[in-house]
Structure 1
Amino acid sequence: MSPTVAPRRRGSSTARARILGWLLLLVLAAVAVLTLVTWRLSVADVDSRMDDALRTEVEEFGTLTESGIDPATGQPFTGVDQVLNVAITYNLARPNEKFLGYVDGTFAYQSRQQAPVLLANDPAFTDLVAGVREPKEGRYESAAGEVRYLAVPVRLDGDARQGVIVAAYFADQERDGVNDIARLMLLAGVGTVLLAAAGAWIVAGRILRPLRDITVTARSITDTELSRRIPQRGDRPGDEIGELVNTVNAMLDRVERAVAVQRRFVDDAGHELRTPITIVRGHLEVLDPADPEDVASTVALVDDELSRMNRMVSDLLLLARSEQPEFLRAEPVDVAALTESIVEKVTGLGQRQWVLDGLARVEAVLDPQRITQAVVALADNAARHTPDGGRIAVGSEQAAGVVRFHVADSGPGVAEADRDRIFERFARGGAGRRTEGAGLGLSIVRAIATAHGGRVVLDSEPGHGATFTVEVPTVAAPPPPGRHTEGGR
């Protein structure tokens, strides 16, 4: 296993374990709270039912005995012991319920239902209830757990003895059903937690997969390999992970473009500046300091080469900036007025027959300075390839959603072989249209058109001049990355 894979898996497992741990903690807490609350409410309900049942039993005792007539014989009760015996016999005890009767503090009768312990043989319980003079309700801790009881004194006219009837509930046994339900809920909760853990492990893995993809992609990107992108696993609205992947991929696109621009700038500068530097160095090496004419001519040559280098660097920087968002400063512009101002400026480029060839009377959103720069560059290019007195037409026109600025000259035109490369950096025309410049002017024109979301189109026939057209939308819209203009020179 490679040393770069293990850290990724450990990091992924750590995040996955954290998600799983927090989820299990929340589920366990929810199950525990739900079980506890349900159990407590159920216990409270059972306790309330036991208390109500005790009071109901005592009321039934009172109803049975208040007439003083034995319902079995129809004759009056003869003693307290008979009252207790009849009351306990006629009232059927519920499960976990027990009836007891005491006469003068001594146990006398009890219901037949079996009980966890014999309260009749418990002297402490007997002392607690056998001699009450008023109804008494309470709780007693027996050998079988809590006992909830209600003791009521019983008297009968003509009998001096003191009787007590007791209704008792074995509360812990009565709550066994509730406790069983709570245990069942707890077991079901544990099963739910295990299922939730398995589901959370799977879901966490799917959620974290894009993050693992980001890590793998980031590790695979080097200074020589910038084309890798994070795989997009679906693009649903509101998907935060999908938005993260898109954002990171967009950032990588920007980084790749920036690095490409930087590399191209360095390559172009290194390639083109090497020649003037070599020229300057060669002349300085053979310079005769004692010869004033040689010194003057060398200084002039060095100054000319330095000026050319300065212009070349400025053009390269301009091309680099053309791929940045802040390159354009678009604003509403009167295209007709802009065209007229451009024509006024280009007439100073040389003794040519400058013609205003059409005006687009429309308002467009574009960068007037950059458009002026592009059209002036085309006019300067036309002036270089048109003889004195030659005709150069500059104008603009409107079409469906676009504005076209054109420069048409009467020069030698552009050879077919040159059209595919003339807009490339440092490209120069063939024998008919060769220039002594650095070959960046038309590249700058194309960069300005592309920045507006437009293009440059060349229409030329060798021997009959050339027409260059800068076509831009009426509202400047930078094209998507990788878009190229058409045409060539």
Structure 2
Amino acid sequence: MLLALAAVVVVTWRLLVAATDERMATSLQAEVAEFRRLVDTGIDPRTGAAFGSVDDVLSAVLTYNQARPNEKFLAYVDGAYRYQSRVEAPVRLSDDARFTALVGSVSESRSGSYASGAGEVLYVAVPVSLDGAPGSGVVVAAFFADLEREAADSTARLMLVVGGLTSLAAAGGAWVVAGRILRPVRDVAETAQGITETDLSGRIEVPDGPGDELADLARSVNAMLDRVETGVAAQRRFLDDAGHELRTPITIVRGHLEVLDPTDPADVRDTVALVDDELDRMNRIVGELLLLARAEQPAFVRPHAVDVAALTAEVGRKVARLGDRDWVVEETAELDAVLDPQRVTQAVVALADNAVHVTAPGDRVVLGSRLVGDELRFRVTDSGPGIDPDDRTRLFERFARGPAGRGRSEGAGLGLAIVAAIAAAHGGRVELDSAPGRGATFTLVLPAHPAPSADGTVDDASATAEDPHPAGGTP
């Protein structure tokens, strides 16, 4: 802006100076023409008679020509100063011997510039003679050019002052605006500097609304930090959980190996069986922990169109092999929905396996699926001892077990946590309805996303809500 301002001021000043110089040159030429007309008539306008001498001509010329501001008329006779106009001037050119010598005795018209004490002087000197009259004269029209250009100089100075103030104001405004625009960038830097390996909670404040590119950048950085924090938290949970759960079987194995009697075949056989069982349990624990860690990744579920009725029937056939129970598929939802059938099967089988461990051979276990409003519900109902209200929330935590499962040694208490993770990955939840002495119903509740038909439309009939509590059924 400053460079542009300087260029504009210089160009404007030069144009104004050039216009002023052209005006002075035109004025001087006009004065010369006026002098010549007056002299060529040969008549003195003051008396109406012919001029009698060169002195009379010069006196008439200066009398009948009005000098402008910064303009001066002088008359010389035989090289000596004789007359000048009455307009005041910054310096007396009549007293300047060098200027008198320059213009006082010219024999032909001359124009040029002269450096006086008041700056540059532009002049035109015109010789004057009268037939039959002795002597010769010179009429000089002169402009004090620097004074005449003062208007152009003042305009340039004014432009510099106004432009400078405007530039300062623009710079101040740009500073404020740039500060507001670059604030998200500073926030990104400060947030990045404030993040440590133990504290990943820092986020960039983003104003509400669509915002601009920098706001989008801040949102992207926040989303990235969310993913990093989630990944680090999952890693820490995995390490904590693995360390917590694997410590016990390792201690058991080490303790039995330390007291092993190599010479006793029975002791060796029992110890090998125990170590093998503990290694299997450790393998299951590691596999389930890895599954929970993957549950927090975006690609954990791979949904696609699935026939829910067929899926429910297939799950019923699979769980029938879990134990000698009275397995009943009570109802099925008749629709094609978008979900991950493998993960849903895994969750329902885990619930069914949990039901096997809290019931006795021949007890009734009911499975089913139904569409309720915009929710798809897969349920598993057992006839076990039920769950105390105080244990309902804790059951879905990692390594938590209900009263009926605390005596089990083969499980790690991760089954219901995995079911909850599968439901959350689908955008759903797990519900529990139970009371001590009357069994429990676990319901996998998923958003119902009807699959589009071949022509790209969704069958609205499949989305009709059903009664969530049919007659004779357990909720």
TM-score tier, shorter chain, comes to 0.7 to 0.9
* SS of 2:396 mapped into structure 1: coil
Query: Equivalent residues in 2 for 1:105-124 (5 A)?
Result: 106-124=80-98
Residue 127 (structure 1) shift: 5.2
Offset, 1:265: 1.6
User: TM-score normalized by structure 2?
Assistant: 0.80
Counterparts of 1:344 and 1:369 in 2: how far apart (Å)? 15
Q: State which drifts further: 169-178 or 265-274.
A: 169-178
Confirm whether residue 140 of structure 1 aligns to residue 125 of structure 2. no
Which secondary structure does the structure 2 equivalent of 1:349 belong to? Answer: coil
Alpha-carbon spacing, 1:294–1:122, altered in 2? closer, same or farther (3 Å): same
Give the structure 2 partner of residue 36 of structure 1: 10
Counterpart contact for 1:428–1:435, Cα < 8 Å: no
Distance change in 2, residues 1:100/1:416 (3 Å): same
- Of 32-41 and 266-275, the range deviating more from structure 2: 32-41
Give the RMSD, CA atoms, in angstroms: 3.6
Deviation at 1:246, TM superposition (A): 4.4
Q: CA deviation at 1:80?
A: 4.5
Aligned mates of 1:237, 1:58 — CA distance in 2: 74
Mapped to 2, the partners of 1:303 and 1:123 lie a distance apart of: 128
Q: Does 1:259 align with 2:232?
A: yes
Bigger mean CA offset, 211-220 vs 296-305: 211-220
Partner residue in 2 for 1:443: 417
C-alpha spacing 1:430/1:57, structure 2 compared with 1 (3 Å)? same
277 and 154 in structure 1: CA distance in 2 versus 1, 3 angstrom threshold = same
In the comparison of the two structures, how many residue pairs are matched?
449
Amino acid of the structure 1 residue aligned with 2:25: D
Aligned with 1:409 (options 379, 382, 401): 382
Equivalent position of 1:431 in the other structure: 404
SS of 1:426's equivalent in the other structure is coil
Contact 2:206 2:218 in 1 (8 A): no
C-alpha distance in 1, partners of 2:195/2:124?
Answer: 83
Alpha carbons of structure 1 residues 360 and 197: separation in structure 2 relative to 1, 3 Å: same
1:56 to 30, 46, 52: 30
Superposition deviation, residue 272 in structure 1: 1.0
For residue 145 of structure 1, report the CA deviation from its aligned partner: 1.9
Distance apart, 1:277 and its partner CA = 0.7
1:337-356 matches, cutoff 5 A = 337-356=310-329
Q: How does 1:161-172 map to 2 (within 5 A)?
A: 163-172=137-146
> Against the structure 1 CA distance between its residues 59 and 317, is the aligned structure 2 distance closer, same or farther, given a 3 Å change threshold?
farther
Deviations 1:380-412 (A, max 9, x none): 223333434444333322233332222233444
Equivalent position amino acid for 1:254 in 2: R
Distance in 2, Cα, partners of 1:261 & 1:198: 48
Tell me the secondary structure at the aligned position of residue 422 of structure 1.
helix
Q: In the alignment, does 2:69 pair up with 1:71?
A: no
Query: 1:312 Cα deviation (Å)?
Result: 0.7
Contact 1:413 1:432 in 2 (8 A): no
Q: Is the partner of 2:403 in helix, strand or coil?
A: coil
1:481 corresponds in structure 2 to none
Question: What letter is aligned with 2:318?
Answer: K
Contact 1:331 1:365 in 2 (8 A): yes
- How far apart are 1:34 and its partner, in Å? 4.5
Equivalent in 337, 341, 347 of residue 364 of structure 1: 337
Q: 2 CA distance for matches of 1:465 and 1:440?
A: 21
Q: Structure 1 residue 81: deviation in Å? A: 4.0
Is 2:431 the counterpart of 1:457? yes
Helix, strand or coil at the partner of 1:431: helix
- The answer on whether the counterparts of 2:358 and 2:404 sit within 8 Å (CA) in structure 1 is no
Tell me, yes or no, if structure 1 residue 309 matches structure 2 residue 282: yes
Alpha-carbon separation, structure 2, partners of 1:72 and 1:325 = 111
Indicate the larger mover: 167-176 or 437-446.
Answer: 167-176
Superposed CA deviations along residues 426-481 of structure 1, whole A, max 9, x for unmatched, are 111213786541111110110111112111112234444332222222359xxxxx
Contact 1:374 1:448 in 2 (8 A): yes
Aligned: 1:330 with 2:303: yes
Quote the offset at 1:174 in angstroms. 1.8
Give the TM-score, by structure 1 length: 0.78
Q: Tell me by how many angstroms 1:276 deviates.
A: 0.6
Matches within 5 A, 1:187-206: 187=161
Q: Which amino acid aligns with 1:88?
A: L
Q: Distance in 1 between matches of 2:311 and 2:126?
A: 112
Query: Counterparts of 1:217 and 1:396 in 2: how far apart (Å)?
Result: 47
* Aligned 1:262-273 pairs, distance under 5 A: 262-273=235-246
Q: 1:78 to 1:452 in 2, by over 3 A?
A: farther
- Gap regions ≥5 residues in structure 1: 1-25, 477-489
What whole-Å deviation, never above 9, does each CA across 1:115-136 have from its counterpart, x for those lacking one? 3333344455445545656654
Specify whether residues 281 and 61 from structure 1 end up closer, same or farther in structure 2 by C-alpha distance, changes over 3 A only: same
Deviations 1:67-95 (CA, angstroms, capped at 9, x unpaired): 44333223343454433322222121122
1:109 partner amino acid? Y
Whichever of the two has the greater Rg, that structure is 2
- Rate the CA distance shift 1:374–1:81 in 2: closer, same or farther, 3 A: farther
For the residues of structure 1 that align with 2:370 and 2:222, how far apart are their CA atoms? 40
Cα deviation digits, residues 243-265 of structure 1 (max 9, x gap):
55544444444343333222222
Aligned AA for 2:331?
A: G
Residues of 2 paired with 1:392 and 1:35: CA distance? 94
Q: For residues 103 and 323 of structure 1, do their structure 2 counterparts lie closer, same or farther at Cα, with a shift above 3 Å needed?
A: same
Within 5 A, what are the aligned runs for 1:91-102?
91-102=65-76
Amino acid at match of 2:396: F
Residues 395, 135 of structure 1: CA spacing in aligned structure 2 closer, same or farther, 3 A cutoff? farther
Match of 1:282 in 2: 255
> Whole-Å Cα distance in 1 between the matches of residues 366 and 310 of structure 2?
16
Instruction: Provide the secondary structure at the position in 2 that maps to 1:348.
Output: coil
Bigger mean CA offset, 210-219 vs 148-157: 210-219
Give the AA of the match of 1:274: R
Name which of 365, 378, 393 aligns with 2:366.
393
Distance of 1:353 and 1:185 partners within structure 2? 99
Question: Following the alignment from structure 1 to structure 2, what is the Cα–Cα distance between the partners of residues 281 and 149?
Answer: 119
- Output the amino acid matched with 1:82: D
**Aligned-pair CA distance for 1:310:** 1.2
Q: What secondary structure, in the 3-state scheme, does the structure 2 residue paired with 1:86 have?
A: helix
Instruction: Quote how far apart the aligned CAs of 1:103 are.
Output: 4.8
Q: Is the 8 A contact 1:396 1:403 kept in 2?
A: yes
CA distance in 2, matches of 1:176, 1:58: 25
**Which amino acid letter does the alignment assign opposite residue 266 of structure 1?**
L
Q: Is the 8 A contact 1:54 1:150 kept in 2?
A: yes
What residue ranges of structure 2 are gaps of 5+ in the alignment? 451-475
CA deviation vs aligned residue, 1:182-215 (integer Å, no higher than 9, x gap): 4455455565666667767777776777666666
Residues 425/112 of structure 1: CA separation in 2 closer, same or farther (3 Å cut): same
